[in-house]
Amino acid sequence: MGNGVSSQHISKKIYLEVAGKNLSVSFSGGCSSQELKELIATGAGFNRWSDFTLEDHTGSLVPVSLSIAPNTPRTPYRVQRISSATNGSTSDREIVNEVLSRVSEEISRAFKSQDFLHDFSSRLESLEKRMEALKYAETIPSRGDLENYHQEMSEFQTHHVGVPSIVLKYGGKDTDSLAPVTYPKINLSDQALESLKRPSANIWDWEPSEMLCLIEHMFHELDLLRAINTDEQTLQQWLLAVQHKYRNNPFHNFRHCFCVTQMMYGMIHLLKLQDVFDSLDLVILLTSCICHDIDHPGLNNSYQINAHTELAIRYNDISPLENHHAAVTFQLLERSEYNIFSNVSKEDFKRLRSGIIELILATDMSKHSEIMTSFKGIQPTLDYNNNNHKKIIKQMLIKSCDISNEVRPTKVAEPWVDCLLEEYFRQSDIEKSTGLPVTPFMDRDKVTKPSAQIGFIKFVLIPMFETMVMVFPQLEDPVLKPLKESLEHYEHLKLLEDAKLEQ
């Protein structure tokens, strides 16, 4: 049996087992995760809005998302309804949905008015989204998701099915939607804590709750809670709220935030930054990394500017994304339950706020040459008592961490390139289909993995880290050396790619 979404090309099929019966569901890359969920629910014979879980043949839970791994008829996902039948009580969400669906049917019978129905269904949709926000859905890609990315990306490229509608909408995540209230406390092994300090850490090893615990650990280990006079609970609430605000983009997601923060933590230890910066500066460094891409919509500044988006209009085309990340950061901190700075003095808050804004704005790559020139300019007279010098060093530090994936071992770094290209290709597809100028380095017809990386490593990363090494020679071995190896790796891939093309 097959259920399909009629208006799009069919690009993916998954096999299911419901109460001993087998079925399959086909769907396209153009549908949303919610539509997929409803498709599975109705295919399984449940109410469209029923909650259910999917388990693979090993008994592991499988998240319902467009990146769901394809399976075979012999390894179907077991669908289990979560309802009165399994937990003894119908969920609130289900009751609301049932009632709304019945009311909707009644109204449609009574009024038969298209306008009214349209309005009603958008209200229903927004209510559903709010209900959805009450649940803690893990949407951050994990190592297991990487294979799915590859699969999804190649299907996306093969079929050119258009852009998932969700990418076209801006609006940000609903600021009022609630972040989950807690995350499990995880015992972190000494080995994990040790690798947390190293640029070579395999960041794919950690699941979302572990990443939260690890960031929390960084604050404890550097004794930063004391510096801002806040408690563990506020820190946890804030971290959850920040995580909740990161969107499920292929690249600009919470795991990217974690990577940048982890690299900064590594730098703090490697360069013994505690000796030259005070605790507030360390708070500024870590907090800026944590929030630097918050609520990123997956479409870059040139898109924002060319498409005259709400963000570009709001910020007059001046670093629209980075301004937005900084603004969202401080919007969150306005809420007392998330305000990790509520107990600092006015003066310290002023310093924290301007420091964080400066650093987040410095991550706009259009400021790269300007910041590099300033950094080279201060080197001959470098003075850690000079606030301007300290600002420029902090800017260089966050910039280096933000683009440091290629410093990591190949097996950790390379999947990020796939994620980045997926996000880029989605953008250039939108640009093509909407008649906007196509950003050349994002064009799927022009860019390949080696071509994207060779230029970036040669002309951006190596010159930047070589300049950093002049001030921090400790970076030579753990950072510059792997970058050079990475360049060799992509040059080798490029040769293979060229040979294949010639054939």
Residues at the contact surface with ligand PCG, assessed by CB under 6 A: 293, 363, 365, 402-403, 405-406, 420, 452-453, 456
- What is the b/e burial string over 398-416, where b = at least 16 CB atoms within 10 angstroms of the residue's CB? bbbbbbbbbbbeeebbbbb
Q: How far is the CB of 309 from Zn ion (least distance, A)?
A: 19
- The nearer residue to Mg ion, 240 or 260, going by C-beta atoms, is 260
Q: Which residues inside 285-304 make contact with Mg ion, applying CB under 5 A?
A: 293
Query: 31 contacts which partner out of Mg ion, ligand PCG, Zn ion, none, CB within 5 to 8 A by kind?
Result: none
Q: Is 427 annotated as a binding residue?
A: no
Residue 484 φ then ψ, to 5°? -70, -35
Handedness of CA 100, 106, 108, 111 (dihedral sign): negative
The residue from 17, 295, 402, 406 that contacts Zn ion (CB under 5 A) is 402
Q: Which residues inside 203-242 make contact with Zn ion, applying CB under 5 A?
A: none
Q: How far is the CB of 200 from ligand PCG (least distance, A)?
A: 16
Nearest-angstrom CA–CA distance, 203 and 337: 29
Q: Determine whether 28 is exposed, middle or buried from the number of CB atoms within 10 Å of its CB (0-12, 13-18, 19+).
A: buried
Residue 437 φ then ψ, to 5°? -60, 135
- Residue 389 among the catalytic residues: no
Nearest-angstrom CA–CA distance, 430 and 309: 14
| Site of tokens 């940048």 | 260
Interface with Zn ion, residue 406, by CB under 5 A: no
Q: Which residues inside 45-84 make contact with Zn ion, applying CB under 5 A?
A: none
Query: 152 contacts which partner out of Zn ion, ligand PCG, Mg ion, none, CB within 5 to 8 A by kind?
Result: none
- Determine if residue 19 is left, alpha or beta; phi over 0 gives left, psi from -120 to 50 gives alpha, anything else beta: left
Residue 501 φ then ψ, to 5°? -65, -40
Handedness of CA 168, 65, 212, 273 (dihedral sign): negative
Cβ-closest position to Mg ion: 293
Q: Is 453 annotated as a binding residue?
A: yes
Using the contact rule CB under 5 A, the part of the chain among 261-269, 309-317, 357-365, 458-466 near Mg ion is 357-365
Interface with Zn ion, residue 293, by CB under 5 A: yes
Catalytic residue, from 9, 150, 220, 252: name it. 252
Half-sphere exposure of 366 (CA within 13 A, CB side): 10
Q: How far is the CB of 357 from Zn ion (least distance, A)?
A: 16
Using the contact rule CB under 5 A, the part of the chain among 317-325, 401-409, 448-456, 493-501 near Zn ion is 401-409
Q: Is 253 annotated as a binding residue?
A: yes
Q: How far is the CB of 444 from ligand PCG (least distance, A)?
A: 14
Q: What CA–CA distances, in Å, run from 288 to 66, 253, 293, 373? A: 31, 15, 9, 22
Cβ-closest position to ligand PCG: 456
Question: Interface with Mg ion by CB under 5 A: which residues?
Answer: 293, 363
**Active site positions, annotated:** 252
Q: Please give the annotated binding residues for Zn(2+), written as ranges.
A: 256, 292-293, 402
Q: Please give the annotated binding residues for AMP, written as ranges.
A: 252-256, 293, 402, 453
Question: Interface with Zn ion by CB under 5 A: which residues?
Answer: 293, 402
